[in-house]
A and B are shown apart, each in its own frame.
Chain A
């Protein structure tokens, strides 16, 4: 016993080091994944350090002329109220990221719990939950979101709630499938014969197995959430003016598209970069950790 214990930690460390080396190597070979990582870091850093980077107050009107093109003073021009577009775009990345974090986080938590219940609970509960998941998935996401916003009023909280509800079923389904597969495996039966309760089995054995694929799925949903948030703000259903937000700036620019292209160009590109960056990164992570993941769905 003593021998085993003295050997085990070492081999574990060695294995961990080895696997992290292969991870880094694989990651470096994946050019798009690298590009994605760079973009994501760039966007996250911009959002975090936004207050230090802005050149003007993003919500103060008439700091410059109306609808001006780019100049040294106003790097990306100004909008219809004479606000500095560069400062607005820099600050505007905070809300999409916040929404993604909040909505996917809560969705992950609820999906995990419901999935575990469905996979480990009684058969009727499983069927009931599956029916609920399928029902939620049968709503067209944007139209469902619009309906909820009509009821709750346009706000960030509504958007976060809607995204959390609509993305939950997929996570719950993945957790359920994995849980069900584990439930009948031999080592769980062994654990149970030694007197382990359901809580222990779920926490010690099922959770670690389920969490990995789930996190990859969540990371792949980030671009979609950013797109939904920007889209709803574009329709005027998200943040209230004058809060800067990519979708809202795009909407302002769209209204004045005949006079100046700059607000549209300046707010569209960050949306594209953010969705591309998170997509490339998510795909790379999936390819490295779990190439089969999408087929399980």
Chain B
């Protein structure tokens, strides 16, 4: 177990290091001078030279990368010339909103999807199962931003039941502003997780220990909850780690549609204004989040299911 843990951690760090280097090289490989882009067409050569010095662009590439990594270790993501603030401050100011949105939608999705998946597996081929089968494929396929815009149109613009934009503040206002965005992100996950739970539940329900429990006359719901679900939930745990990546991606759209603060809205604005330091900062933080989430879910999985430790 410890060996596995170490290997997994080393791999995670290697992936982050490669990702950072790749990103860094990509930004430098782009034709054109980042300083010139930032300063605009009317910049004088002296201004460019000064900014070059400030951004460290006058040093050799290896030194630049090393300085960049050194800064990263201190939590320094660079400096935003536009707002004259460190990138880390800006990104970490927005990050809680995105995390909140993701956590709320994923926990609601799990809360709905796990019982639904269990029920579908227990009453296989029943009407509920068949309807759920079709609806869940549909909810996975439909892009979240279309769901978001339609939800906005129906519930906020036409019916006026829920607020359309912003994150709200205060005890009630915040959660109410989360309803539509959370729904738009979560609905696809309800489908995905319930299908996953259904499939693995069907597999587990056919196993010997479940037949044994049945022969003792234990009620079906108790068998599912006590003996089958702990096994059947494993694939879901793995998927949740990978899912962070997808959730971050859909959060970008949802934050734009509902005009919520968050790192998704931040990067979209930064791309529009070509503010590279911010773009880089958001990519770094989100890559770090994803790699940690995947690693964590792999470790949890290895802890729960010793068989997965052998393959890496």
The interface of chain A, by Cβ under 8 A from chain B, is 32, 131-132, 134-135, 138-144, 146-152, 223, 227, 230-231, 234-237, 250, 253-254, 257-258, 261, 264-265, 268, 271-272, 275-276, 278-280, 283
Contacts and interface: CB of A to CB of B under 8 A. Distances in A.
A230 B158 contact: no
B157 A257 contact: yes
A62 B174 CA distance: 42
A279 B279 contact: no
A280 B11 CA distance: 37
Contact of A151 (B26, B138, B248, B287): B26
A112 to B, nearest CB: 22
A139 B279 contact: no
B290 A275 contact: no
B162 to A, nearest CB: 14
B221 interface: no
A284 B173 CA distance: 44
Interface residues of B, number: 52
Q: Among the interface residues A132, A144, A230, which one has the most CB atoms of the partner chain B within 10 A?
A: A144
A138 B150 CA distance: 30
Smallest CB-CB A-B distances: 4 pairs: A142-B249, A227-B143, A279-B141, A150-B271
A134 B252 contact: no
Nearest to A139: B287
A265 B157 CA distance: 13
B157 A143 contact: no
A146 B291 CA distance: 19
Contact of A141 (B19, B134, B249): B249
Given A234-B253, A261-B158, A264-B149, A146 B142 contact: no
B15 A147 contact: no
Given A258-B157, A271-B143, A235 B267 contact: no
B271 A138 contact: no
Contact of B267 (A143, A231, A236): A143
Given A140-B245, A146-B252, A279 B140 contact: yes
A270 to B, nearest CB: 10
Contact of A140 (B26, B249, B257): B249
A138 B141 CA distance: 22
Contacts of A134: 11, 15
